[in-house]
Amino acid sequence: MTELHPDLRENVRLLGELLGQSILQHPGQECFDLIEEIRAAAKADRRQESGSGQRLETLLRQLSDNELLPVTRAFNQFLNLANLAEQYHGIRRKQGHPSDLMVESLSEVFDRLKSGGVDPEELHRRVADLRIEFVLTAHPTEVARRTLILKYDEMSDCLARLDHDDLMPAERGEVTDRLSQLIAEAWHTDEIRHERPTAVDEAKWGFAVIENSLWQALPKFLRSLDTSLEDATGKGLPLQATPVQIASWMGGDRDGNPNVTHDVTRQVFLLGRWMAADLYLRDIQSLRAELSMWQASAELQAVTGDSREPYRQVLAQLRDRLIRTRDWAEASVKGEPADRTDILFENEDLTAPLELCYRSLVQCGLEHIANGPLLDTIRRAHTFGLPLIRLDIRQEATRHAEAVAEMVDYAGLGDYLSWPEQERQAFLVRELQGRRPLVPRNWEPSEPVREVLATCEVVAQQTPEALGSYVISMASTPSDVLSVILLLREAGMKFPMRVVPLFETLSDLQGAPDSMAALYEVDWYREYCQGRQEVMIGYSDSSKDAGQLMAAWAQYQAQEKLTRVASQYGVHLTLFHGRGGTVGRGGGPANRAILSQPPGSVNGSFRITEQGEMIRFKFGLPRLAVQSLTLYTTAVIEATLAPPPEPEDSWRETMDWLTERSLKAYRDVVRENPDFVPYFRLVTPETALGKLALGSRPARRKPTGGVESLRAIPWIFAWTQMRLMLPSWLGSDVALEEAAQADRLPELREMMRGWPFFRTYVDMLEMVLAKADLRIASYYEQTLVEDDKLKALGASLRERLTGCIARLLELKEQQDLLEGEPVFAHSMKVRNPYTDPLHYLQAELLRRDRESEDKGEVPEMVERALKVTMAGIAAGMRNTG
């Protein structure tokens, strides 16, 4: 097995030693020795040394309530530090340190496309028109506190400073001392949030990602794209091009979250403008220092007269307006009287003076200066705009239908909810074509409807640059889309906002093409959408509904058919991928996923959710963000210009055959087995997850109910914590077993060789199976489950997991999992001695927690330690939910 890169190994060793020093100082030698003894026992257990497993269990069971917390915290902290070292190593690979995980450069991809026959003109056109949008979501899987994330970021900076061969001993000592201080600070900081963040807190966290990382990363990435494009085609990136955009659901996603109100959304819009004004102000102050030139074009002189420093004069005016804008936004957020006189509100208010300066410098032969920091600010202005981030709104379809129904009822026009779809459509189109308002003047709507209308009013007050998409969950008919447009118009909307149906469950995905065809048939709507449509594909709920294999195939087929239907109506389709970090929520390496999409479905535009801890892992540091932007961009360009071939008809038939079996096998367990839900509740920490203050959104759509009422994230988080990883493989086990018995494995190998979609699915399944651990899953069961019927179910699930691993190895013709991913395999191996004690402890703590709850009171140390085990295991598994 491939060892860790020596530099990475050295960083992990250094961070571990410094953590050990903090533990020695407090709580002291005795605790340090105990932690080391547990770690040694866990390593010996992994090596399957005689009696080591019993030794580890005994050590952990004997821990007193007072010892629980420092022990769990130590293993949690080490896993976070190991993540930090790996993340930093991922950045330094771009600095001449070759590795298996090197990100291919833009130039390499452009050269390969040209060699494959792509015309340079076509390449330039496609890159200039590119639209990749990352949608930051507040899905609650980021378990690390922001306080600690900031310390980890500075630790990463320290590692970068140590990464120089020419440091003097005193300089090296200085950096190591700072690193030691930061680790000590982290050790003495409570890693668990004790209060849930509000929706506004979540939005501020999203803004901080821009301020601390993307603000620097985006212009750097665009410079790289500009240079590579010019080298490849002879022409650079147009000045106003925005190939990458950033949107957010934080403060806009109200589906199942009663904490996101119209007032929260209004605040988030204002906070974005406040932070944007502050960030641009810093840029403008720097530019005033830079642009001291006196040569100016006639166009600029017409504005500045005979000024000796015309650029500074224009920028001073812009600075003054930014200050007024910041003050207005700040006062508005606080609910104080706010003066809107001469503020910057429309994007052009910001871009026009900057571009005037740019044109003048170029005309005066000072192009080199124009293309310095000024160009970076112009690109930020076009990408982030004055709102800083494009806010999506998400709401469930029935909420809009209820709002229209109340209006219709008040106006005496009938019972809207009882009307058939065609009648609803006809009514909505008549209203949209007419001019009279539908909302009566003195009407008093119910509270839920009042909230829907108030949200529409907040949205209608924004500029187009402030808005992303209006996403309708559980959408299934054209009236679901038309009703939103009508409600927005009634609220005073003056321009067409993107309205995006979200297809989530298996039946939704299967019905999506017909739903969209029916919508495109509405002449009024085709004119409204101006030949462009966005459709969201839900990965999480389709996987929870149908199992991973069936969901993946349904998603693929839905995208194919949606692309075909849009093409028939002359509509350019952008698919919005609601993927999460885990395989069970559509996760995995992003470039492989994009390159395995159906041919034609990635047509120069791509939208994707980024959630929770994945935002930090991909965009948390500027150099990491540049790397992630490069990876996504190259994949989208390649999938657009060199899409994979169509799958063979026989492969489609085989997928139908496999998924027919996987769907039945999955639902037979999850839906039909009466013992499944009780087993799930007992053997996983699902019922305790509510104690972890992860996000502003409740874990359940309804306070009671079975698996169907559980959100996809806690469903996956819970199985990941105890390492059965059930959502990602259940159903695939039976499909692969029956394929082997029917002698179809040679055909599956052929599909892996020729079809990126199937190969990616098999690779992702292998990654999940490598993270599963039968021994740990079994330990949770023996600690937490007493009922023999439930134990029998657990034994059968573990047996099925064993069979799935055996069949996957047979399919891939391998002896061990991850033979083709040695770096990832070794990373897992390094983490195990730290995650294992946390798993064993969590099972024990869940037992103590439940026993104490039965008695009426849970000791504080038990509750805190339980939360720390959840955070630590999440860190060890990397992608948690």
Cis omega (within 30 of 0) on the bond before 27?
yes
CA pair distance 99, 103, nearest whole angstrom:
9
Beta bridge partner(s), residue 131: 605
Q: CA-based Rg of the chain, rounded to a whole angstrom?
A: 28
CA distance 83 to 91: 13
Rounded distance between C-alpha atoms, residue 367 and residue 361, angstroms? 6
Please state, in angstroms and rounded to a whole number, the distance separating the CA atoms of residues 849 and 843: 10
Q: Which residue has the tokens 């580890």?
A: 56
547 contacts 735 by C-beta, under 8 angstroms: no
Q: Of these residues, 5, 89, 382, 544, which one is catalytic?
A: 544
**Residue 503: alpha-carbon gap to chain centroid:** 18
Cβ contacts of 859 within 8 Å, gap of 6 or more:
65, 848, 852
The token pair at 177 is 């001392």
Task: Give the 3-state secondary structure of residue 13.
Answer: helix
Active site includes 220? no
Please name the residues in contact with 444: beta carbons below 8 A apart, sequence gap of 6 or more: none
State both tokens at 388: 């800083």
Query: How are beta strands 605-611 and 498-503 bridged, if at all?
Result: unpaired
139 a catalytic residue: yes
Report how far residue 729's alpha carbon sits from residue 804's, in angstroms, rounded to the nearest whole number: 8
- CA 597/CA 604 separation, integer angstroms: 13
Catalytic residue, candidates 139, 262, 400, 771:
139
The owner of tokens 């641009």 is 280
Q: Rounded distance, CA 254 to CA 248, Å?
A: 13
Question: Within the chain, how many helices (H) and strands (E) appear?
Answer: 38, 8
Residue identified by tokens 């310390």 is 151
First to last CA, the chain: 28
Q: Residue 622 and residue 4: Cα distance in Å, rounded?
A: 24
For residue 59, the Cα-to-chain-centroid distance in whole angstroms is 38
Amino acid identity, residue 558?
A
Q: Which tokens belong to 778?
A: 């079994």
Q: Decide: residue 681, CB within 10 A, 0-12 exposed, 13-18 middle, 19+ buried.
A: middle
Of residues 598, 606, 604, 607, the one with CA closest to residue 643: 598
Q: Give 745's contacts (C-beta < 8 A, 6+ positions apart).
A: 739, 810, 811
**Which amino acids are annotated catalytic?**
139, 544
